[in-house]
Amino acid sequence: MAGAFLDALALVLLTIPIFYPVVLNLGYDPIWFGVMIVLVTQMGVISPPVGVNVYVVSGMDRAVPLQSVFKGALPYLAALVVAALLLLAFPQIVTVPTTWVK
């Protein structure tokens, strides 16, 4: 979860040019890869120690302690982890709607 230490946009701009050709050569679906990148970057921006989105939410109301905001983000982090694991186990979930179009 490099997104915990780096901004999501910077992470995507640094890693996609390296990993995209590798993913294509390994035979993975590029749409699945894009969805996984979004999930992983979203996990990074809400996970400790440098969850950027958590700091933004904490800055909106200074009365709420940062620790409470991180605790509030944990269910969303868990949901993103479960979604990523489901997409790893069943990658066809991502492309089901595109198969209906044909």
What are the tens digits of pLDDT across the range 73-102? 999 999 999 999 999 999 988 888 765 665
Residue-wise pLDDT for 21-79, tens only, equals: 999 999 999 999 999 999 988 888 888 777 788 888 888 988 989 889 889 999 999 99
Question: Could you tell me which of 28, 44, 3 has the C-alpha nearest to residue 94?
Answer: 28
DSSP the chain: -GGGTS-HHHHHHHHHHHHHHHHHHTT--HHHHHHHHHHHHHHHHHSSSS-HHHHHHHHH-TTS-HHHHHHHHHHHHHHHHHHHHHHHH-THHHHHHHHHH-
Helix crossing, 66-89 with 92-101: angle to 10°?
A: 60
What is the tally of structural domains in the chain? Answer: 1
Q: How confident is the model at residue 80, as a pLDDT?
A: 95
- Helix H, strand E, coil C: the string for 82-97 is HHHHHHHHCCHHHHHH
Residue type at 88 in one-letter notation: L
Is 45:52 a contact under the CB 8 Å cutoff?
Answer: yes
Task: Give the range of the structural domain holding residue 21, as residue numbers without chain letter.
Answer: 2-101
